[in-house]
Structure 1
Amino acid sequence: MYFIAAIIAFGVLILIHELGHFTMAKLNGVVVEEFAIGMGPKLFSIKGKQTQYSIRILPFGGYVKMLGDQEKSDDPGAFNNKSPLQRLSIVIAGPVMNLILAIVLYSVIGSLGGFHLPIVDKTVPSSPAEAAGIKSGDQLISINGSRILTWEDFAVGVGLAKDKPINLTVKQEGTLKKYTLQSIVDKETKTRIVGVYPTAVTSPTILQSIGYGFRETISMIKQVFISFKILFTGGASINDVGGPVTIIKITRQAAIAGLIPLLTIVAFLSSQLGILNLVPFPALDGSYVLVCLYEIVTGKAVDENKVSFINTIGFTILMAFMVLIIIKDIVLPVNF
Structure 2
Amino acid sequence: MYIVLALLAFGILVMIHELGHFMLAKLNNVKVEEFAIGMGPQIFSIKGKETKYSLKILPIGGYVKMYGEEEDVSDPRAFMSKSPLQKISIVAAGAIMNYLLAVLLFSLISFNNGFTKPILSEIVPNSPAEKVGLMPGDTIKEINSHKVITWEDFTLHVMMSNGAEVNLKYERKGKVNSITLVPEKDIKENRFKVGIGATVVDNPSVGDSITHGFKQSISTINQAIFSLKTIFTGKAKLNDVGGPVTIIRVSGAAAKAGIWNLMWFTALLSVQLAVFNLLPFPALDGGWVFILLIELITRRKVSEKIIQTVNYIGMSLLLLLMLLVTIKDILFPIKL
Sort the TM-score into its range (normalised by shorter chain): over 0.9
2:237 and 2:34 mapped to 1: Cα distance?
38
For 1:145-192, what per-residue CA distance to the aligned partner results, in whole angstroms no more than 9, with x for missing partners?
Answer: 111000000001112222221111111122111111111001221111
Aligned partner of 1:185: which letter? Answer: K
Q: Secondary structure at the match of 1:109?
A: helix
Q: Secondary structure at the match of 1:137?
A: coil
C-alpha change, 1:69 and 1:238, in structure 2 (3 Å) is farther
Q: Secondary structure at the match of 1:133?
A: coil
Contact 2:239–2:333, Cα closer than 8 Å, also in 1: no
2:288 and 2:221 mapped to 1: Cα distance?
20
- 1:281 equivalent in structure 2: 281
The answer on 1:317 being equivalent to 2:317 is: yes
Q: Output the aligned Cα RMSD.
A: 1.1
1:224 and 1:335 mapped to 2: Cα distance?
20
Q: Secondary structure at the match of 2:41?
A: strand
Q: What stretches of structure 2 of length at least 5 have no aligned partner?
A: none
Q: Secondary structure at the match of 1:121?
A: strand
Question: Which is worse superposed, 145-154 or 165-174?
Answer: 165-174
What are the equivalent positions in structure 2 for 1:91-170 lying under 5 Å apart?
91-170=91-170
- 2:208 equivalent in structure 1: 208
2:266 and 2:20 mapped to 1: Cα distance?
17
Q: Secondary structure at the match of 2:203?
A: coil
2:333 and 2:164 mapped to 1: Cα distance?
32
Question: Which is worse superposed, 89-98 or 237-246?
Answer: 237-246
Q: TM-score, normalised by structure 1?
A: 0.97
What are the equivalent positions in structure 2 for 1:11-50 lying under 5 Å apart?
11-50=11-50
Q: CA deviation at 1:335?
A: 4.2
Question: Which is worse superposed, 247-256 or 153-162?
Answer: 153-162
Q: Secondary structure at the match of 1:180?
A: strand
1:29 and 1:68 mapped to 2: Cα distance?
12
Contact 2:92–2:285, Cα closer than 8 Å, also in 1: yes
What are the equivalent positions in structure 2 for 1:167-178 lying under 5 Å apart?
167-178=167-178
Aligned partner of 1:258: which letter? Answer: G
1:335 and 1:151 mapped to 2: Cα distance?
25
- 1:195 equivalent in structure 2: 195
C-alpha change, 1:262 and 1:79, in structure 2 (3 Å) is same
Contact 2:225–2:275, Cα closer than 8 Å, also in 1: no
Q: How high is the sequence identity, in percent, across the aligned residues? A: 48
For 1:118-168, what per-residue CA distance to the aligned partner results, in whole angstroms no more than 9, with x for missing partners?
Answer: 000000011010111100010001111111000000001112222221111
1:64 and 1:159 mapped to 2: Cα distance?
40
Q: CA deviation at 1:78?
A: 0.9
1:187 and 1:19 mapped to 2: Cα distance?
47
1:83 and 1:232 mapped to 2: Cα distance?
34
Aligned partner of 1:271: which letter? Answer: V
- 1:89 equivalent in structure 2: 89
Aligned partner of 1:123: which letter? Answer: I
Aligned partner of 1:191: which letter? Answer: R
1:238 and 1:283 mapped to 2: Cα distance?
25
Q: Secondary structure at the match of 2:235?
A: coil
- 2:247 equivalent in structure 1: 247
Contact 2:68–2:80, Cα closer than 8 Å, also in 1: yes
The answer on 1:293 being equivalent to 2:312 is: no
- 1:62 equivalent in structure 2: 62
For 1:94-141, what per-residue CA distance to the aligned partner results, in whole angstroms no more than 9, with x for missing partners?
Answer: 000000101111011100100110000000011010111100010001
Contact 2:239–2:334, Cα closer than 8 Å, also in 1: no
Q: Secondary structure at the match of 2:160?
A: helix
